[in-house]
Amino acid sequence: MGRRRTRSGVAAAKLRVRQCGILLGVLVALVAVLSPASAMAASDAAASGTATADSSASDTADSDSDDTPRVRLARPTWDTGWFQAEVYRILLQQLGYQVDDPVTMGNAEFYDAVAAGEVDMWASGWFPLHDTYLSPDSPVEAVGTAVDAGALQGYFVDLRTAETHGITGLGDLADPSVAELFDHDGDGRADLVGCDVGWSCAAVIDHHLDAYGLTDTVEHTQGDYSPLIAGTIDRWRAGEPVLFYTWTPNWTVGVMAPGVDAAWLETPFASLPADQSAALARTAVSGIRGCANDPCQTGWPPNDIRAVANTDFLDANPAVRTLLEQVAIPLADISAQNVRMIREGGDPADIRRHAAEWVQANQAIVAKWINTADPSAVAFAPLGEDTAPSGVLRVTARVLAPFVIYHEGAYSGFEVEIVRLVAARMGMTAEIHSVDTVAKQIDDIKRDIADVGLGGAAITESREQTIDFSMPVLDSGLTILTTAEGSRGLGQRIVAFFGAIAQSDLPWLLGVFAAAVLIAAHLIWLLERRHNSDFAVPYRRGIWDSFYWSVVTMSTVGYGDKVARGTRGRVFALLWISLGTLIFASFTAAIASSLAVSELRSEISGPHDLAGKRVATVASSAGETYLPSIGVGPVVVEDVDDAYRLLDEGGVDAIVFDAPVLRYHAAHEGTGDVVTAGPDFQRVRYALMVDDADSQLREQLNLALLDLVESGIYGRLHDGWFGADDS
Q: Read off the pLDDT of residues 13-59 as tens digits, 9 standing for 90 and up.
A: 443 434 444 433 433 343 343 333 333 333 333 333 333 333 333 34
Query: Which among 644, 635, 666 has a CA at the least distance from the CA of 237?
Result: 644
State yes or no: pLDDT of 169 exceeds 60. Answer: yes
**Is residue 575 within 8 Å of 523, Cβ to Cβ?**
no
Kindly list the distances between the CA atom of residue 427 and the CA atoms of 423, 431, 453, 469, in Å, as whole numbers in the listed order. 6, 13, 19, 21
Q: Is 102 helix (H, G, I), strand (E, B) or coil?
A: coil
3-state SS assignment for residue 373: helix
What is the distance of C-alpha 176 from the center of its chain? 37
Cα–Cα distance for residue pair 282/279, rounded to 1 Å: 5
DSSP class per residue in 460-529: -HHHHTT-EE-S-SEEEEEEEEEEPTT-S-HHHHHHHHHHHHHTSSHHHHHHHHHHHHHHHHHHHHHHHT
Cβ atoms 351, 83 nearer than 8 A: yes
Q: Which amino acid is at 382?
A: P
SS3 of 390-439: the string is: CCEEEEEEECECCCEEEECCEEECHHHHHHHHHHHHCCCEEEEEEECCHH
Q: Residue 556: what pLDDT?
A: 63
Q: For residue 36, with 0-12 CB atoms within 10 Å meaning exposed, 13-18 middle and 19 or more buried, which class applies?
A: exposed
Q: Are 632 and 610 in contact (CB under 8 A)?
A: yes
CA–CA separation, 11 vs 8, rounded Å? Answer: 5
Give the span between the Cα atoms of 615 and 647, in whole angstroms.
9
Angle at 622 between CA 617 and CA 625, to 5 degrees: 85
Q: Is 261 strand, coil or helix?
A: coil
Mean pLDDT of 181-209: 92
Q: pLDDT by residue (tens digit) across 245-257?
A: 999 888 899 899 9
Give the highest mean pLDDT range of 53-67, 372-386, 503-517. Answer: 503-517
**For residue 234, pLDDT beyond 80:** yes
Helix ranges restricted to H, 35-170: 36-46, 57-64, 82-94, 107-115, 159-165
Predicted confidence band of residue 428 (pLDDT cuts 50, 70, 90) = confident
The pLDDT tens digits of the residues spanning 339-395 come to 888 877 778 888 998 999 999 899 899 999 999 999 998 887 653 334 344 478 999
Spatial neighbors of 373 by CB under 8 A, at least 6 apart, are 95, 319, 320, 322, 323, 326
**Which residue type is seen at 576?**
W
* Cis amide leading into 348 (omega within 30): no
Instruction: Identify whether the C-beta of residue 415 lies closer than 8 Å to the C-beta of residue 687.
Output: no
Residues 6+ apart with CB under 8 A from 588: none
Cα three-residue angle 640-646-648, rounded to 5 degrees: 105
Q: How far apart are CA 412 and CA 539, in angstroms?
A: 81
What are 395's strand-pairing partners? Answer: 432, 452
Distance CA 154, CA 296 (A): 10
More confident call, 205 vs 32? 205
For the range 617-622, what are the long-range contacts, defined as Cβ-Cβ under 8 Å and sequence gap of 24 or more? 617/643, 617/655, 617/656, 617/657, 618/643, 618/657, 619/343, 619/344, 620/343, 620/344, 620/345, 621/657, 621/658, 622/458, 622/477, 622/478, 622/658, 622/682, 622/684
Among 165, 482, 111, 87, smallest CA distance to 308 is for 111
Mean of the pLDDT values across residues 500-519?
Answer: 74
* Contact yes or no for 422/706 (Cβ under 8 A): no
Smallest CA-to-CA distance from 595 within 501, 695, 470, 709 is with: 501
Percent of the chain residues past pLDDT 70, beyond the cut: 83
Output the pLDDT for position 633: 93
User: What count of other Cβ atoms lies within 10 Å of the Cβ of residue 116?
Assistant: 13
d(CA 51, CA 45): 10
pLDDT confidence of residue 541: 76
E-only strand ranges, 524-595: none
| pLDDT (tens digit per residue) in 554-605 | 776 666 677 778 888 888 888 887 777 777 777 677 666 655 554 544 478 8
Predicted TM-score of the model (pTM): 0.59
Instruction: Give the pLDDT band (50/70/90) at residue 485.
Output: low
Q: What separation, in Å, do the N-terminal and C-terminal C-alpha atoms of the chain show?
A: 100
The pLDDT of residue 562 is 75
Asked whether 201 and 195 are in contact (CB, 8 A), the reply is yes
C-alpha span between 85 and 305 (Å, rounded): 12
Question: What residues contact residue 105 under an 8 Å CB cut-off, 6+ apart?
Answer: 74, 75, 76, 77, 113, 119, 122
CA gap 446, 598 in Å, rounded? 54
Is residue 533 pLDDT above 90, yes or no? Answer: no
Spatial contact of 304 and 127, defined as CB atoms under 8 Å apart: yes
509 burial type by CB count under 10 A (0-12 exposed, 13-18 middle, 19+ buried): middle
In this structure, what are the phi and psi dihedrals at residue 50, rounded to the nearest 5 degrees? -95, 0
As beta bridge partners, residue 407 has 410
Radius of gyration (Cα) for the chain, nearest Å? 38
Amino acid letter for position 264: W
Give CA–CA dist 571/154, Å, rounded: 86
